[in-house]
Amino acid sequence: MRTERWTVLVNIDEHSDHTSAEARLQTRGGIAGRGLAKRNPRDTDIPEIGAELATARALSDLAHQLLDASIADVEEATGRSATFRS
């Protein structure tokens, strides 16, 4: 059995009207996902909500990039078109 540990580093930048996040996988050539959350000026300023939303979006972006990389790796290894079921 083979065991691996992959680490994701999330950097969050909070600004007065938006929060951005980058989720960087510490393997596979440094794939990074990005997410953004914008606060409506009429909303209460609760920074944790913007951080959560921006991070979720960055992780989602990272997941999609990993899926695309997996498909490309299978296609390269087999020489055939590949799709994965959800």
Q: pLDDT tens string for the chain (86 positions)?
A: 999 889 999 999 999 889 999 999 998 678 999 999 998 888 888 889 999 999 999 999 999 999 998 898 889 999 998 877 76
**Look-up of token digits 């979720």:** 56
The dihedral over CA atoms of 46, 49, 54, 59, expressed in degrees to the nearest 10, equals: 150
Domains contained in the chain, CATH given? 8-78 (3.30.160.240)
Say what the pTM is.
0.86
Beta bridge partners of residue 13, listed in sequence order:
20
What is the Cα–Cα distance from 34 to 27, expressed in whole angstroms?
17
